[in-house]
Amino acid sequence: MSTQTKRRAPFRESRKPFADLGRPGKEVRVFPLPTAALLLGGAALAGCRVAAAAGAPPHPGAQVTPTHELVALHDRVRMGGLEDRRFTQEAYWSVVGPVVEGHPAFRVEEVGRSAEGRPLRTVTFGRGPVPVLLWSQMHGDESTATMALADLYAAVAREGGHPALRTIQEALTVHTLPMLNPDGAQRFQRRNAQGIDINRDARMLATPEGRTLKDLRDRIRPLFGFNLHDQAVGTRVGRTDRGVAIALLSPPFDETRAVNEVRHRAMEVMGVMIQALEPLVGGHVARYDDSFNPRAFGDLITRWGTSVILVESGGWPDDPQKQYLRKANFVALVAALEAIAKESYKGVGTALYEGLPPNGRRVADLLVRGATLVVPGLPPWRADLLVNYEDPLLAAGGVISDVGDLADVEALDTLNLEGLFLRPLPAALDLRGGGVQLRVGGPAHFTVSRRQDGLEPLWTFLGGPPAELRRRQ
Ligand SMILES: [Zn+2]
C-alpha cells in the first residue's frame, strides 16, 4: 500500500467531527481511557484472552487460595480513602496509620528519612523464619502497589485469621516499605527531591532513600524482594494490540542474563502470580525488559542474593485511578506470599514466566487527525497532531510531540477533526525569530472551530480534551 493511499484511506466523508479513524480492519484501541468516548475503536479487545502459557491449568503444587476468594477478601477489606491514586505520604499515613499503629499484628519502624526529611517507615507483620521485603513507589508517581499494600495491612488487621493470611504470618516475616519516595509522591513525580531516579541509584547510593533501601536489604537479608512499580500505560503485550495490565520481571544479575537459583525461585513464584492473575487480567500480562542495568536496585539486589520480583502495573480499561489494578496487585501479592509461606512454588517451574510475551511497543496517547492548523502569519495547513500526556490515565498535561503526516502513528486515542480548524493558544506558540510558529514540545492548548478565524470555538483543549468530549458517547 502506498503512503498516499494509507494516508487518505482513513479520511471518510463523514461530517461527524469525532468519528473513529481506526485503520480498516485494524482495532486500534485496547484501553478505553477517559477520552474513550471520542473514539469508538476496538474497546472490545479488553475481554480477550490468550490461551497460551497464561491459560495453562494451575499447577497442582501451587496450593494457593483461588483468585475469586482473594478478590472477595479484597472486596471486604479494601482500605477506604485511597480512591485517587495521587496522594501524599501524609494522606497515606492518615489512612494506614490508624490501622497498623498499636495493632498487635504490626511493627512500625522509621528506618530513614527522605531528602526533604519525610519519614521512611516500614510496616512489618508475621513472625515466621523466612524474611520477605516489599517496597513500593520508589518512583513518586507510581502508587498502585502502595494502595495494594494498604489493603494488605487492612486484610491482616481485620481478617488475620483467614487461612492464607494465617499461613503467611506463621511462616514469613513480611517487611514492607510503602512509598519509598515520599518527596516525589508529594509532587506526583518520578524522581526524588534531588532530581535522582532512585532506581538508578543502587550503585552510587547518592539518595537517602536508596541508602535506606540498601541498609534494609542488608539488615533483613530477605529471601524474596518485591520491587513494585507502574509502567507506561501505552505499552502493548508483545506484538499484539493488547495493553499490558501487569508486567513481571526477574531482574538479571549480570550481562549474561544467566538464571541461577536466586532467579529460578523468583520465576517459580511469578508462575504462581501469573496463574492468580489469569482470571483478572489474563492475556494482558507481559515480561518487562530484562537487560542488565548495573545501577538498578532490582538487578543489584538479585546479585546480592535476594530473589527479586519486579511488578509493573500498566493500564486497564476504564480504570483511570488504577483501582482494578490495585485489586490485581493485592491478589497477586497474597498468592505469592502464600506460595512462599507454603513453599508450594517449588516445582511450579519457569515455563509460565518464560512464556510471557515481552513488553512490546509503546503507543502514543492522542492522535488528532485531519484538522487545518491556523497560526497567525502562516498560510493555514492541514496536518495531524500528536499529543502525549503528562498523565495519560487522566488525559491531562498534554504536550504537542509531533505535527505533520502521522497517519501511521499508533495512539491510544484518535480524534478526527477533519473539516475543522485548530488554532493554537499562546502557550502553544513560539514567538522567537521575529515570527509566530507552532511550538512542538509546548502545551497542547488550542481551540477547535468550524471557522478559520477561530471564532465561535466548538471546544478548547487545555492539555487534554475538554470534559464534555470525554463524556460523549
Ligand atoms: Zn518505576
228 C-alpha to center of ligand 1: Å?
7
Superfamily of the domain at 3-45+363-470: Urease, subunit C, domain 1 (2.30.40.10)
Grid cell 477561530 in the structure block, residue: 454
271 C-alpha to center of ligand 1: Å?
22
Give the closest residue to 209 by CA, choosing from 218, 226, 197.
197
Arithmetic mean of pLDDT, 260-279: 98
CATH topology of domain 53-354: Aminopeptidase (3.40.630)
Confidence band, pLDDT 50/70/90 cuts, at residue 342: very high
pLDDT digits (tens, 9 = 90+) for 419-465: 999 999 999 999 998 899 999 999 999 999 999 998 999 999 999 88
Residues less than 5 Å from ion ligand 1, measured at CB: 139, 142, 229
98 C-alpha to center of ligand 1: Å?
28
Where do the structural domains in the chain lie, given as residue ranges? 3-45+363-470, 53-354
Which pLDDT does position 384 carry in this prediction?
96
198 C-alpha to center of ligand 1: Å?
9
Confidence band, pLDDT 50/70/90 cuts, at residue 467: confident
Which pLDDT does position 86 carry in this prediction?
96
Confidence band, pLDDT 50/70/90 cuts, at residue 379: very high
231 C-alpha to center of ligand 1: Å?
6
363 C-alpha to center of ligand 1: Å?
18
pLDDT digits (tens, 9 = 90+) for 434-447: 899 999 999 999 99
420 C-alpha to center of ligand 1: Å?
39
191 C-alpha to center of ligand 1: Å?
10
134 C-alpha to center of ligand 1: Å?
14
How far lies 154's CA from each of 160, 185, 324, in Å?
9, 22, 17
In angstroms, the CA 396 to CA 358 distance is: 28
